[in-house]
Amino acid sequence: MDYKPAGFQTMTANATYRDAKAAIELYKRALDLTVEALLETPDGTVMHASAKIGDSSFFMSDEFDGSPRKAPNPGSPVAFYLYLPDVDVSYRQAIDAGMMSVSEPEDMFWGDRTATVSDPFGYAWTLATQVKEVPPDEAIAMFKQMMTQS
């Protein structure tokens, strides 16, 4: 037996909400989230949702008594970075689904084309597509050059 369940990577994001069901519905439309398991109490509190965005697992839950995790108030210091096949299409899909634009798609010096959206639950999502392979030493040199020009 492997040390982790089949289909999981070493790290899995685990986000907390005040309305996990609403977040699930938004992410289904905006990010193509699929739910694999949903555990809720009789009053409808989501104790645990196991979901996927692309090939990555994503856990979600509501705030509940006894849990040390709380939903962002108002915004989270944690953000998500998603690699997607076409950032321009994914950005438009997220906006059309109800997410808010933080930055429109643009090419970045490290080789990704990115855009950032935020959701009404306090999380920011950077959507990315690698458009060019940039070796780390070149990306560091470009960053240092940018910092000297500021």
Specify the residue for token string 């289904």: 28
**19-37 per-position pLDDT tens digit:** 999 999 999 999 999 999 9
Q: Are 27 and 84 members of one domain?
A: no
109, 146 Cβ separation under 8 angstroms: yes
The verdict on residue 69 lying in a domain is no
Q: What is the CATH number of the domain that holds 91?
A: 3.30.720.110
Helix (H) or strand (E) holding 136: helix 136-149
Q: In the predicted model, is pLDDT for residue 150 greater than 90?
A: no
Q: Are 51 and 82 members of one domain?
A: no
CA distance 147 to 150: 5
Q: In the predicted model, is pLDDT for residue 119 greater than 90?
A: yes
- Residue numbers of the domain that contains 43: 1-64
Q: What is the CATH number of the domain that holds 33?
A: 3.30.1900.10
Count the domains in the chain. 2
The verdict on residue 70 lying in a domain is no
3-state secondary structure at position 125: strand
Report the pLDDT value the prediction gives residue 37, as an integer from 0 to 100: 98
